[in-house]
Chains A and B, each alone.
Chain A
Amino acid sequence: MAYALCFLLFMIGLYCAAVKKNMVKIVIGIMIMEYAVNLFLIMLGYRSGGQAPIVGRGDIAGAGGKVLDSFINTSVDPLPQALVLTTIVISLGSLALMISICIRTYEKYGTFDITEIRRLKG
């Protein structure tokens, strides 16, 4: 269910980026897609009632230093969180560039409407 909502959010972003005529709204649409994917990644690692994936003294048993199964079965997957941090940084970079291009375009054309900004044709 939660995954379906995530996918719905992704499609809303895609719709917004594809259909809207305002440059800023297109940027917002792309960012919605970005957040949908981030949410999806976080949910992959989520476990309700899970614990932080840091091995404490109580989680190791025996002389061999083996991690207990109970710890492995309840800890949260830390990798998606690292991935999401990375994608947030990347999306910050591309968002900054997109917004600055929007600003420069507005200075040149005096509008954000992409139907009026058409010097190039496909």
Chain B
Amino acid sequence: MEASVNLKALFKPKTMAVIGVSLHNDRHPANVIYNKNSLRFQAKVFPVNDRGGVLMGETVYPHISDIPQKVDLAVIAVRAEMVPDIMAECIQAGVGGAVVISGGFAEIGRKDLQDRMVSLAKEAGFPFIGPNCLGIYSPPYMDTFFLPSERMVRPDRGRVAMVSQSGGTLVDQMSKFANEGVGLSLGVSIGNKAQIRELDLLRYFARDPATDVIAFYVEGFEKNEGRKFVLAADRCPKPVIVLKSGKSPGGGRAISSHTASMAGDYEVFSAVISQYGMVEARNEYELVSFCEALSCYNRSIEGKIGIITASGGHGALAVDACFSHGLSVPTLSEQHQAELESKVSPRVRAIASFSNPIDLTGSAVDDDFIAAAEFLSTRQEVDCVLILLLPYTPGITSDLGARLSQIYRQKDKALIAYVPHVEKYRIFIEGFELNRIPVAHSIEGAIQMADAIKRCQPC
């Protein structure tokens, strides 16, 4: 795929056609796509079926060329054998690009059909996503997923773009994003990625002003494609997060050198991804928490953690987790401890501990957390502040998140919060997340966020 091809028609179409709607089967994927777009999205949508007719009062066009307006995006959901001809019609009609939902190509051995489509598109400079994919989720413009909206857990609009080889994985990640308050700028399922591939989308999102963080679920690259991908990521000023499947060794082939045996496909993948400053998520949970952390902070840290807690146990567990991730927990000098001590309320002064972790105890009030966070944010020896919040302690209010976020905005030092139990403490969590402070629900998860900020090296 040439870098010069404009993908905007695909992602922000003003007009779209859904080709292959059924006149009598409401559950046909094309009908689901047509319905959701005509009811809930901004793009003007036209139904197409070669038999013509009327669908819910709207004219069904027999051919894409019959549509009286220029069409930006064609969503193709017809039988695989018909797709190349339909694509040729789209090209002929001057359509901007296509999403091919249909399966039945390389994944079942019909590489010939897929290749026909690719060469047609290549010749015409016509961009398309798929085949065998869910396509593009791009609210408020459009959504090509053939899933009824009410069945999806939909994340808010936000700054993370996610590209996935698997449609199902994308939909599930989106529901996890929604649970964690991570907003999505765009979701793209690329399926067989016959033409538009990870590299093209990396280049697009690197320049997309609506996207701050780019996340990928990758099964594998073609020959030398990984090299091009990491070199492009090296020039990308935004954090790039990669979740890889297919980590187990393939086996079979006799391996005759130690290097070939030890530098297996996954070992190389993992090493090179981190060499080029991308962050590898080891599992789906890390992917979500890394997206959350890196959409708040995209400047790398050395990993010198200052910990503020209301419980000694939480502090001790956090120190252990820092240690196991290679993060440091620098001690504060006697003088600095005394300085901080003078800033907290009298009733915690006598019982709190002011080394790092700073244990403010269960008697602490909001102002004590603010004082401690303000203090740590001015210390050179700390480059990331971890707030272990126990929302059940009586002196804490739900204002704390928003107030702490002000400190970040003034001092520009990364803050990460730990808040247990999502449902019960939703209001505390939103206080942080709506003000761009990432929140983890386990201590380990909070430390992983810090580790991700350390590992991420955007150029």
Is chain B a partner of chain A in the same complex? Answer: no
B residues near A (Cβ < 8 Å) are: none
A residues near B (Cβ < 8 Å) are: none
